[in-house]
Amino acid sequence: MTTLPSDAVHASIAELVRAYLAADYRWQHGGDWHDLQIGLQAPALELLYPDHGTFGMLSAWNPRSVECAESVNREADRALRDDLAATGLPFLPAFGSAFDRSWREPGWMVIGLTLDKFDALSRKYGQLGTVWWTYGQPGRLRVDASRPAEFGNDEHVDWLRASPADG
């Protein structure tokens, strides 16, 4: 197995994060698909679930954004769905994709989960990026990596690992 130099890993992460920020995010309710965007609130979710306070979108597909066989992804998705069902909280079908649909990843919108439990599920399924909304606040991209120095700051990105660039 070849190990990439740290600057190549950081460049790859920066590229992936840019793709996540530009992605199209949607969730389904009552047979209709609804748009979401990082940096904007989630008014339809807030109207449907006014007493839950948080909304998180995550997937079990392609851990660390490394493409896996469809059968592997579907099995991981079933396990995530079972974990979400065990919380007793509402969750809905969702997906993230490139605007040109050159890639698309199914996932779930979970309503009312605490941030620590959401992050734990994300780590369990090896996700590099997830999206999180708190009632009345803009959506945030949560990245399970350190911020590459060349990436700069983005007010809607939470880097979950300490970075040399952060001092």
Closest of 147, 135, 122, 133 to residue 64, by C-alpha: 122
Residue 94: inside a domain: yes
DSSP secondary structure letters along the chain? -PPPPHHHHHHHHHHHHHHHHH-EEEEEETTEEEEE-BTS--HHHHHH-TTT-EEEEE--SSGGG----HHHHHHHHHHHHHHHHHHTS-EEEEEEE-TT-SSEEEEEEEES--HHHHHHHHHHTT-SEEEEEETTS-BEEEESSPPPGGG---TTEEE-S--GGG-
Residue-range definition of the domain harbouring residue 38: 6-161
Closest of 17, 101, 105, 124 to residue 57, by C-alpha: 105
Residue 131: inside a domain: yes
User: In the prediction, which pLDDT does 99 show?
Assistant: 84
Residue 127: CB atoms within 10 Å:
24
Residue 101: inside a domain: yes
- Tokens 């998705």 — which residue? 77
Q: Output the tens digit of pLDDT for each of the chain's 167 residues.
A: 333 334 444 458 989 999 999 999 999 999 999 999 999 999 999 999 999 999 999 999 999 989 999 999 999 999 999 999 999 999 999 999 988 888 899 999 999 999 999 999 999 999 999 999 999 999 999 999 999 887 778 889 999 987 654 54
Helical pair 70-87 and 115-124, crossing angle rounded to 10 deg: 150
Residue 166: inside a domain: no
User: In the prediction, which pLDDT does 163 show?
Assistant: 65
User: In the prediction, which pLDDT does 108 show?
Assistant: 98
Domain count, the chain: 1
Residue 66: CB atoms within 10 Å:
8
Single pTM value for the model? 0.88
User: In the prediction, which pLDDT does 154 show?
Assistant: 83
User: In the prediction, which pLDDT does 142 show?
Assistant: 97
Residue 1: inside a domain: no
Residue 167: inside a domain: no
User: In the prediction, which pLDDT does 5 show?
Assistant: 36
